[in-house]
Chain A
Amino acid sequence: MRFTALLAAFALLLPVVAEGQGQQAQGQQRPTSQRQLLDYRNLSVQEPPANIRLTFHLIEADGFTNDDPEIAAVVTELRRIFRFRGYRLAFTSVLNASPEERYGGRGGVPVPLNRAEAHVSQRITDQQGRPYVVAAAITVVDGDVRASVVLQDDSAERRGAELISASVNLTSGKTVVLGSTRTDATSGALILAVTSVFDP
């Protein structure tokens, strides 16, 4: 009886083991059991970047004459378009985001949604002591990386006021410069340069 049950169990397991070996022989096996199962079911999954490094440069425009080499490339392009008197680097923030894959359920089997998400934020203070919050909500869908970037005023008077807010697709190694004139009493503009680098 015990032998019969063992034989039955072996017979049930055999095709799975054999197919698993076949997958391995083709070099398609993934490092996790979920991946193995998904490969077995021939569901293609596009891996999101393991890490996305976002470098934020907040630049204040007008009234500054010093050149900062850290933002020289961006300022060169800004000068071609605008004629603010100068541009000053208010702060630099480097944030690392590791998108987490989202799975849906199907018959108890996790199914990849080809979607990964991450959220990063940081409170930071400029040279005048004015506090800001910079945040990015990242989504990776079918390999396309998109970030909703927000710069908020975090001062007691205007806490939560969105100074800059936009959603852009990111390309590794490229810089999207988001600018807006100030809406408070100060003149000039706030410019947030977002540079992304993807680590595979």
Chain B
Amino acid sequence: MLDERIRRHLMEAEPSELRGEGGSELARLVRRDTDVRAAAQDLLHGMRELDTALSAPGPSRNAAFPRWMRWRNFGLATGLAAATLAALLLSSPDVQLPADDSASVPLTATLEVESDRRFAVFATNNPDIAIVWLFDEEER
């Protein structure tokens, strides 16, 4: 099990850090610690899957979600990445989201989803709303 602080850093990390690139503390940890590296690679794998699913064939989808927006969406890069990672973490039984001590806990922090289909949970700016996207097998 990963330390809570490391999990939080992983959630907020850029993909390059998850790949162990650069000189940040987290990148060094990814290079050094096999457990952290495994978790980072799981997250990277999930991000790639989500990336593929969201840019799946279909004119509406390609128009709906251009590649540059996915991680740089209106300055929400961290938020969206965190949302994606949150989804991946929620999908994984071994990793828990860090608890939120604030009075208004976002719904995504407590949301538990089960589905026969693969899914992603997106955090939103509205703490009362969470978005769960269900993927079909061919979207993977």
Could you say which of B69, B110, B111, B116 contacts A83, with CB atoms under 8 Å apart? B69
Q: Which residue of A lies closest to B83 (CB)?
A: A81
Known pairs A62-B60, A84-B60, A181-B136; A171 contacts B110 (CB<8 A): yes
**Cross-chain pairs A/B with CB under 8 angstroms, 5 sampled:** A73-B128, A83-B64, A166-B114, A178-B132, A180-B136
* Interface mask (B100-140 → A, CB under 8 Å = 1, otherwise 0): 00000001001111111101001011101111111110010
* Interface mask (A179-200 → B, CB under 8 Å = 1, otherwise 0): 1110100011100000000000
Q: Which 10 A-B pairs have the closest CB atoms?
A: A77-B124, A83-B64, A166-B115, A167-B114, A180-B134, A177-B131, A62-B60, A174-B107, A169-B112, A175-B129
Contact residues in B for A180 (Cβ distance below 8 Å):
117, 133-136
Q: Are B115 and A81 within 8 A (Cβ)?
A: no
Mark A residues whose CB is within 8 Å of B: 61-62, 73-74, 76-78, 80-85, 146, 164-169, 171, 173-181, 183, 187-189
Mark B residues whose CB is within 8 Å of A: 56, 58-61, 63-66, 69, 73-74, 76, 80, 107, 110-117, 119, 122, 124-126, 128-136, 139
Known pairs A62-B60, A73-B126; A176 contacts B111 (CB<8 A): yes
Q: Are A167 and B113 within 8 A (Cβ)?
A: yes
| Bound form: Cα–Cα A62–B132 in Å | 18
Contact residues in A for B125 (Cβ distance below 8 Å):
76-77, 80
Q: Are B60 and A179 within 8 A (Cβ)?
A: no
Q: Are B60 and A169 within 8 A (Cβ)?
A: no
Q: Are A81 and B112 within 8 A (Cβ)?
A: no
Q: Are A174 and B58 within 8 A (Cβ)?
A: no
Q: Are A83 and B66 within 8 A (Cβ)?
A: yes
Nearest chain B CB to A53 CB, angstrom units: 15
Contact residues in A for B133 (Cβ distance below 8 Å):
179-180
| Bound form: Cα–Cα A3–B132 in Å | 72
Q: Are A169 and B115 within 8 A (Cβ)?
A: no
| Bound form: Cα–Cα A180–B119 in Å | 9
Q: Are A73 and B116 within 8 A (Cβ)?
A: no
Known pairs A165-B117, A168-B111, A174-B107; A84 contacts B134 (CB<8 A): no
Known pairs A80-B76, A84-B64, A187-B58; A165 contacts B115 (CB<8 A): yes
